[in-house]
């Protein structure tokens, strides 16, 4: 009887710790979304305030996400040395430093300093992503990992819906539409123009100063929270299968390498659908104050996708089948963006029909990341930390594909530039149906 009581008490304690841990991880993913998806409005805002081309404006995403490529492997070594909880604290503090760099950048209206701050924020996020994703994957049964990732995705995308709206509320004013029009028409003298642009860019100082304080304090809270340290070498090896025996290199896991490339294409396609849609709406005659809501429409569709994942996976549909359906849907929507045309009135906006095929890409993209991660990280055993770092490196797709889109937008137009989405989804279809099965470079195994 005592033994049963002890077992029940231990089970209750473990359940409570699991719930608290999920809340902490959900808060982390909320921060990921708040900091990452504000780029959707930073891009057009910097384009105006710093007088940039499309290509130059998308250096925002490049500077932010190239940190994932540069810092992911060092992040793995950092986590091995200091542990996951202390590593998360360090990551949050580096992000706080990046937010503070926005102050001198705004005071001097120097785009390069802004990019430095964005790189620092991206570096902190690389550490956090390297730590948080294994937590979510390993903290429960591997066959429900997609459900947990979907819950984290809800937190991320809720923040994503809020981020551009909060930023707009803090830095944009009702009179800005007229100001932007006068700037475009060259109404101001050089001195007046400089003064107007200086005033615009300095509005970012207060929100990013507040963000720095929040990140610093949250880092302390995580460090001394009940979030358990995890042993990824042990925990991931005890999953359904441990493929690490006899392996001497991370490159001996084809499904991992191909999965990192899948993440590269997935996040690249996702960030294009969110971070370019304001500019695309502006090309249809909408001003920034009206166009600012379009990223939130995409994020809302993403939330719907996550809710469907939580409800359906794994009881009604497997996480792999949901992944496959979403990749095909993404390709169909990408083609529709290129071929659809005609003026429509939807949700009070008069736009070209094609933009409304970008919006539901949020639903298609929702379960792709959740599908890739457990398929790519399964059974890595002692290679889990390094494998996680490699997958996080794939997030640098956010850096490169928007730059390609920006270059194409400057040369062939903002609509036809969406052609870059097609090869992204073609590769994702390959990984969803074939690539994840490849366990040896010389042969594939179902």
Q: What is the pLDDT of residues 318-365, one digit of tens each?
A: 888 999 999 999 999 999 999 999 999 999 999 999 999 999 999 999
| Residue 343, phi then psi, degrees to nearest 5 | -75, 135
Which residue in the block uniquely carries the two structure tokens 């695309």? 280
Residue-level pLDDT at 446: 44
Assess whether pLDDT exceeds 80 at residue 2: no
| 244 vs 181, higher pLDDT | 181
Give the contacts of 77 (CB within 8 A, at least 6 positions apart).
none
Residues 32-65 pLDDT 10s: 888 887 888 888 899 989 989 888 998 998 999 8
Q: Helix, strand, or coil here: 346? A: strand
Residue 188: count of CB within 10 angstroms of its CB = 15
Above 70 in pLDDT, residue 8?
A: no
Is 0.85 surpassed by the pTM of this model? Answer: no
**Burial of residue 174 (number of CB atoms within 10 Å: 0-12, 13-18, 19+):** exposed
Q: Which of 98, 77, 88 is nearest to 35 (CA)?
A: 98
> Domain tally for the chain?
1
What CATH number is associated with residue 279? Answer: 1.20.1250.20
Q: Is the pLDDT of residue 214 over 50?
A: yes
Q: Which tens digit of pLDDT belongs to each residue from 391-420?
A: 888 888 988 999 999 999 999 999 999 999
pLDDT of residue 429: 97
Q: Which domain holds residue 219?
A: 2-224+232-437
SS3 assignment, position 6: helix
- 3-class secondary-structure state, position 350: strand
pLDDT at 370: 79
Residue 444 lies in a domain: no
pLDDT for 378: 83
Query: Shortest CA distance to 126 belongs to which of 68, 86, 185?
Result: 68
Let me know if residue 53 belongs to a domain.
yes
* pLDDT tens figures, 89-143: 999 999 999 999 999 999 999 999 999 999 999 999 888 887 877 777 777 666 6
Least confident of 27-41, 148-162, 284-298, 407-421: 148-162
Please tell me the predicted confidence (pLDDT) of residue 238: 44
- Give me the mean pLDDT over the 288-306 stretch: 89
pLDDT at 374 over 70: yes
Residues 151-170: what's their mean pLDDT? 83
Domain contains 445: no
Quick check: is 146 in a domain?
Answer: yes
Residue 446 lies in a domain: no
215 or 151, which is more confident? 215
**Is 443 among the domain residues?**
no
Q: Given a cut of 70, is residue 1 above it in pLDDT?
A: no
The whole-angstrom separation of Cα 116 and Cα 66 is: 11
Give residue 353's pLDDT.
97
Mean pLDDT of the chain: 86
d(CA 210, CA 334): 38
pLDDT band (50, 70, 90) for residue 240: very low
Could you write out the DSSP letters of every residue in 381-426? GGGHHHHHHHHHHGGGHHHHHHHHHHHHHHHH-TTGGGGGHHHHHH
């Amino acid at each position: 009887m005592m033994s049963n009581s002890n077992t029940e008490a231990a089970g209750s304690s473990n359940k409570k710790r699991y719930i608290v841990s999920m809340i902490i991880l959900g808060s982390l993913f909320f921060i990921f979304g708040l900091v990452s998806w504000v780029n959707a409005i930073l891009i057009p805002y910097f384009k105006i305030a710093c007088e940039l081309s499309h290509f130059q404006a998308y250096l925002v995403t490049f500077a932010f996400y190239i940190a994932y490529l540069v810092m992911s492997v060092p992040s793995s070594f950092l986590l091995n040395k200091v542990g996951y909880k202390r590593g998360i604290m360090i990551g949050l503090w580096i992000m706080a430093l990046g937010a503070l760099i926005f102050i001198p950048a705004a005071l001097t209206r120097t785009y390069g300093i802004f990019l430095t701050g964005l790189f620092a924020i991206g570096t902190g996020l690389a550490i956090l992503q390297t730590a948080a994703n294994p937590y979510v994957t390993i903290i429960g049964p591997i066959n429900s990992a997609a459900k947990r990732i979907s819950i984290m995705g809800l937190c991320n995308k809720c923040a994503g819906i809020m981020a551009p709206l909060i930023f707009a509320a803090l830095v944009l004013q009702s009179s800005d539409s007229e100001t932007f029009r006068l700037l475009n028409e060259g109404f101001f003298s050089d001195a007046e123009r400089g003064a107007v642009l200086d005033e615009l860019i300095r509005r970012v100082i207060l929100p990013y100063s507040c963000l720095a304080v929040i990140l610093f304090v949250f880092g302390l809270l995580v460090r001394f929270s009940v979030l358990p340290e995890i042993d990824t070498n042990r925990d991931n090896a005890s999953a359904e299968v441990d493929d690490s025996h006899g392996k001497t290199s991370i490159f001996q896991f084809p499904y991992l390498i191909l999965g990192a490339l899948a993440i590269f294409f997935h996040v690249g396609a996702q960030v294009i659908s969110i971070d370019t849609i304001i500019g695309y709406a502006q090309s249809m005659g909408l001003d920034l104050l009206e166009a600012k809501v379009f990223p939130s429409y995409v994020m809302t569709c993403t939330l719907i996708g996550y809710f469907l994942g939580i409800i359906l996976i794994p009881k009604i549909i497997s996480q792999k089948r949901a992944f496959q359906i979403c990749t095909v849907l993404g390709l169909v929507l990408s083609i529709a963006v290129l071929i659809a045309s005609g003026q429509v009135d939807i949700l009070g906006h008069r736009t070209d029909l094609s933009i409304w095929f970008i919006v539901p890409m949020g639903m298609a993209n929702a379960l792709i990341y959740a599908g890739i991660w457990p398929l790519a990280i399964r059974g890595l055993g002692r290679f889990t930390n390094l494998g996680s770092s490699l997958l996080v490196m794939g997030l640098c797709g956010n850096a490169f594909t928007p730059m390609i889109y920006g270059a194409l937008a400057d040369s062939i137009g903002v609509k036809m530039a969406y052609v870059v989405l097609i090869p992204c989804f073609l590769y994702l279809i390959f990984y969803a149906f074939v690539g994840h099965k490849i366990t040896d470079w010389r042969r594939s195994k179902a």
